Amino acid sequence: MSLRLFFASAFGLIKSTAKIEATHETLLADFRMYREFEQSDELKEYLALESLINSAAFKQKKVELQHLSLRGSREEALLKELKKLDKNRWLQKYDSTLKSEELKRFEKISVSEDLKHYKELKAAVEIHSYAAIKKKGKESAEYVLYVEFQQVKKSADIQFFKHFRMSSALKNFELMKDSPELKRREELRNMTTSVEFKARVAYLEDKQKWDKTEDAAKEKRFSEMKKMPQVINYLKYKDSSAFDFFKKWQLVFEDHFDSHKLDTQKWMTQSHWANEALGRNFSQVGDLQAFTDGKNVLVDGKSLKIEVRKEKTNGMQWHMPFGFVEQEYDYTSGIISTAGGEWWNHGILEAKVKYSPSSHFIDSIYLLGEESSPQINLVEMGLKNRLGTLTKTDSGIHSECRSISGLKSGEFYIFRLEWSAGSLIWKINEKEILSIDLNVPSHTMHLNAASIVVSEPVGSLPHRFEIDWVRFYQHAKA
């Protein structure tokens, strides 16, 4: 048993599988959203609005417009000037006279025949003195004109005309009708009653004037965009290193086994050598099972299970020096391989596997090349619980392995292999377990998973080797 793993597991030093998965899925979803938004027209719009709205010119324009009002404006000055003129007592008296019935009567009399006749009589009478007219006698023409003049002079209209002509009201009216004050007041009245002036005053008095501008609409749009999930996501990560892994590594292979049958575009149910040499599966000397062609590989929409069953069947086994020999087996099992399509050279291999070891079996996920050595075990459990490399030598099998017996049985763990040109690093739930930097394979390899029977199991069948998902990353292309 690995005491190191036992204590790490017992004291919570190995991260929770569920938390690692949740963090990964959340980060991956955020990354995909980030990438999609990064290429979108919405980001271009957002950045353009951000640049505009945060500019000094925009801020100054907004402040100026929000503080713009009628108070202190040219328009207010003109209105005040007009109000002052409207209160001018001489202009008020002028207005009163202009509207009066007396002025109308006066102007009517001014152009009347009666006034004209009065003036003619007056002119004729004033040629002679009253004494001279009286001396000529009452029968004289001059006296008759004088009497008529006196009668006309006493008429109501002529009396009113003479009185009003001498009044202060008419004198003020005559004085003001061509005055600069009256002209200015008329100019201001025309100006302040114009459509343009009224519209300008209404604009200056409108407390919502900023909200009605195109710039305010842009500001509102920017505010709304800041609440969009993709913008929040973008702002959260734009200066972060959180996505470095996804930027550096490209997912080139993945299977979550979430259908109800094995994806034969990704996997074949024979080993590479069985497919190449025999066209059917075979077992090694010492194996107690025969590999069926997929019958023991179960996919239920949640995970993949390689199932070992107790059932008699015939299978092929390699015997030196005879070659392949058919024999009877008491157990059946399964194998899957990517040899039919996926081979890789360097990268990161990850798999979520249920750790359920039994000493009667060897359950393993491993990488192999064109030759069966070396074998890189992502995880091996059962007879031995370990990870590392197995290499054939003249004296047997050389192993560079680390025990993982301290893990909790029945629990899922994420096993990870980081394979570079100079090293192999194994991790369980992000905790480094083993590192090798000598004799690191540099050729392409393919992925395999299998369950082998090495001793007679008692009351423990069917045995299931369960894999939740598997994926492989390689360096992203620039």
Residues of the chain with CATH 2.60.120.200: 252-475
**Residue 386 Cα distances to 301, 317, 377, 379, 399, angstroms:** 28, 26, 8, 6, 10
Query: In the prediction, which pLDDT does 1 show?
Result: 44
C-beta of residue 447 within 8 angstroms of C-beta of residue 417: no
Query: In the prediction, which pLDDT does 139 show?
Result: 82
Buried b (16+ CB within 10 A) or exposed e, 214-252: eeeebbeebeebeeeebbebbeebeeeeebeebeeeeee
Whole-angstrom distance, CA of residue 464 vs CA of residue 304: 9
Per-position pLDDT tens, the chain of length 478: 455 665 556 546 789 999 999 999 999 999 999 999 999 999 999 999 999 999 999 999 999 999 999 999 999 999 999 999 999 999 999 999 999 999 999 999 999 999 999 999 888 888 888 788 778 888 888 888 888 889 999 999 999 999 999 999 999 999 999 999 999 999 999 999 999 999 999 999 999 999 999 999 999 999 999 999 999 999 999 999 999 999 999 999 999 999 999 999 999 999 999 999 899 999 998 999 999 999 999 999 999 999 999 999 999 998 877 889 999 999 999 999 999 999 999 999 999 999 999 999 999 999 999 998 899 999 999 999 999 999 999 899 999 999 999 999 999 999 999 999 999 999 999 999 999 999 999 999 999 999 999 999 977 799 999 999 999 999 998 6
C-beta of residue 436 within 8 angstroms of C-beta of residue 400: yes
Q: Of 402, 411, 407, 415, which is closest to residue 470 (Cα–Cα)? A: 415
The CATH class for the domain spanning 252-475 reads mainly beta
